[in-house]
Structure 1
Amino acid sequence: MARPSLAGKLTGKVVVVTGGAQGIGAATAAALHRCGARLALGDLDRVRAEKTAGELGPDVVALPLDVTDTAAFTAFLDEVERQIGPIDVLINNAGIMPLSPLDQEDDAATRRLLEINVHAVVHGTREAVKRMKPRGSGHIVNIASMAGKSGFAGAATYCATKHAVVGLSEAVRLELRGTGVEVSCVMPAVVRTELAAGVAEARFIKSVGPDDVGAAIVTALLRPKFDVFVPKSLDLTGRIARLFPRPFGEWLVRVLGGDQLLASAAHSPERAEYEDRAARSVPSVPPGGSV
């Protein structure tokens, strides 16, 4: 966590968290609220978002948000600015992780992943740039994953979406150089939330809690940094792995059991409730429609 002497930098800042009702979003909101930020939580589950906001304090705004509805997403951001002021920080956190081998993944699941994990992040980032760039200040935080740097069996499309978030963030960072708008890309390991239900503890990388991710995001806002690995050791692990030829790296992952980390959880009983909820996160764009 950042030193207390820096915490005042977030006091009064308007921060938007998508997918803010639970998990990483709720933990991040709590950490930011302790730093004095003015928060707006957006989530498809309005009831849970309002409950989370109420637990944080009467000054926290909770609004319904379907990130796949781009017009509604824009209107949501407009409403936040109407209620509490210009947005200083946008945290694109909303995302899903249904698991299955690619040949068993139906097209509806693929569409949900792409709409929620990629297109919504692109739209949110674009909207943030339009609002922040003219003011010469702001910070965009995109939540990716260690799956944005590597591939994991049983989660091919999910990995593809997180690779997209990393690439998007890297490119936008270059576009915004010198404008005063910062970009951070957060890449956690397995986070102990509903999204990771049924995923076993890895032997080679320790899982983290949502509070760990929230603390890392606060630190990145106080001391702007692009690559945010949670835990920090992920960065070193990745650098070391890239020093060796691919066959050796893949052999090492198999020896450590990483090749089945997500695949083995795909049909576990512990994931049933989450998989059902993720399947109900239906994109607003009908099949065959334009985006």
Structure 2
Amino acid sequence: MLSELVPGSYARSNPRIEPPGAVVVVTGGARGIGAEIARQFAEAEATVWIGDVDADVAADTAGVIDGARSAVLDVTDAVSWREFVSKVLDECGRIDILVNNAGVMPVGAFLEESEATADLILDVNVRGMLNGMRAVLPSMLGEGRGHIVNIASMAGMLPLPGMVSYNASKFAAYGASLAARREYDGTGVTVSAILPAAVRTELASGADLGGVLPTVDPQDVARAVVRTVRTRAARTSVPGWVLPGWSIADLFVPESVERVARTLAGHGQALALDAAERSAYLARIARQASDHAAGGHSGGTVVDGAVVDSAGTSEVRAR
């Protein structure tokens, strides 16, 4: 029992998974963070499966990554998950690592956000992650080993203006990750949450990143994901100092002081996007949001993508 108190004992108590030869699933892997995660796992000699609703782009991405394959996946659809997982299991026999990366990040005034936009946020960021865990857990538990990495966000701990629904979704993703980690403790299956700050991706066009949150590159997030295979850490922020820094500030800094600091840091960037810089991108993605609202779910796994609803609310993912 005392040995469990030694740092690193949790990782050592679970079956090792070495990246070389591992079968890795990355959702939303066609672009941005997901594509970089897939590339880094492939460079570590893993067999990588990219699941994305944009099948053509996913196939193009897989085509330039050695050891990568792709298949269509709508994370909001349980049937799509079953078909995707069955394909991976039929060809590879197992899934060692799942990276729930697919996500959308709407920003803008809460009262101007349509129900369709709120539905998309919750369907992709919360239900999509839960669907993914539910789809792979039976086979992982059967093998007695497996690792799930959920890409949450520092927005799962740090609330920001213009991100009410997104904050809600990422608080949920973070909480679900920790709860699943506890529920499956002792089974050989581990769950880790990654909490990036603002990420420089295509989706960030027109956004003034930084301020309250530092900015990082997709490569930084991918490295943190790969590292959890060794550490099995419960939570990892990117950069690493942000999580402990915010935890200390939230615990000890009075709200009056925090309000002044937030104002000085410019914490309202999510309410001040440059729509002109994003117009072409938003127009392309708006169709996917409309299809999702109509029940087609074709916008369900837009990653590093943007959505515009009828009120003009824009969506930008900066994690």
Contact 2:17 2:229 in 1 (8 A): no
CA distance in 2, matches of 1:240, 1:28: 30
TM-score by length of 1: 0.90
1: CA distance, partners of 2:34 / 2:144: 26
> Partner letter of residue 168 of structure 1?
A
Matching of residue 163 in structure 1 with residue 155 in structure 2: no
- CA 1:262–1:180: 2 relative to 1, 3 Å: same
SS at match of 1:262: helix
Amino acid corresponding to residue 155 of structure 1 in structure 2: M
| Structure 1 partner of 2:132 | 124
Kindly provide the CA deviation profile for residues 263-290 of structure 1, in whole angstroms up to 9, marking residues without a partner as x: 212x532333444455414438839xxx
Q: Which residue of 1 aligns with 2:313?
A: none
Q: Does 1:270 align with 2:255?
A: no
Does the Cα contact within 8 Å between 1:188 and 1:231 map onto a contact in 2?
yes
Task: Compare relative contact order (CA 8 Å, sep 6+) and give the higher one, 1 or 2.
Answer: 2
Aligned residue for 2:46? 37
Alpha-carbon displacement from aligned partner over 1:97-119 (angstroms, at most 9, x marks no partner): 12221110111111111111111
The correspondence for 1:283, drawn from 292, 299, 312, is 292
Q: Deviations over 1:186-237 (max 9, x none)?
A: 1001100123222213245421110110011111112211111001121232
Post-superposition offset of 1:133: 1.7
In 1, the alpha carbon distance for the partners of 2:206 and 2:105 equals 12
Q: Aligned partners of 1:93, 1:256: CA distance in 2, in Å? A: 28
Residue 62 of structure 2 corresponds to residue 53 of structure 1: yes
Range moving further from structure 2, 38-47 or 188-197: 188-197
Corresponding residue for residue 88 of structure 2: 80
Counterpart of 2:20 in structure 1 is 11
- Whether 2:214 is the aligned partner of 1:206: answer yes
CA 96–200 in structure 1, closer or farther in 2 if over 3 Å, else same: same
Deviations 1:39-87 (A, max 9, x none): 1001111111111101012x32111111111111111111111122200
Residue 104 in structure 1 maps to residue 112 in structure 2: yes
Give structure 2 stretches of 5+ with no counterpart.
Answer: 1-15, 297-319
Q: Secondary structure at the match of 2:21?
A: coil
Question: Structure 2: how far apart are the matches of 1:149 and 1:230?
Answer: 13
Residue 250 (structure 1) shift: 2.5
User: Does structure 2 conserve the Cα–Cα contact (< 8 Å) formed by 1:68 and 1:284?
Assistant: no
Equivalent residue letter for 1:139: H
SS in 1 for 2:245: helix
User: Structure 2 counterpart of 1:272, which letter?
Assistant: S
Amino acid at match of 2:168: A
Which residue of 251, 256, 260 corresponds with 1:251? 260
1:270 counterpart letter in structure 2:
E
**Contact kept? 1:17, 1:90, Cα under 8 Å:** yes
Counterpart amino acid of 2:31? Q
2:143 corresponds to 1:142: no
The answer to whether structure 1 residue 241 and structure 2 residue 270 are counterparts is: no
Q: Count residues in correspondence.
A: 278
Q: Which residue of 2 aligns with 1:21?
A: 30
Q: Which residue of 1 aligns with 2:194?
A: 186
The one of 87, 94, 107 equivalent to 2:102 is: 94
Offset, 1:30: 0.6
Aligned counterparts of 1:284 and 1:120: Cα–Cα separation in 2: 15
- 1:96 and 1:278 in contact (8 A); partners too: no
RMSD between aligned alpha carbons? 2.0
Q: Residue by residue, what CA displacement relative to the aligned partner does 1:129-150 show, whole Å, maximum 9, x if unpaired?
A: 2221222110001011111111
| Structure 1 residue ranges without an equivalent (≥5) | 1-6
Mapped to 2, the partners of 1:147 and 1:163 lie a distance apart of: 7
Residue 158 (structure 1) shift:
1.0
| Structure 1 stretch displaced more, 36-45 or 200-209 | 200-209
Code of the aligned partner of 2:277: E
Query: In structure 2, the residue corresponding to 1:198 is in which secondary structure?
Result: coil
Q: d(CA) in 1 for partners of 2:46 and 2:57?
A: 20
Residue number among 70, 77, 89 corresponding to 2:78 in the alignment:
70
The 3 A distance-change label for structure 1 pair 143 and 250 is: same
| Matching residue's letter, 1:63 | A
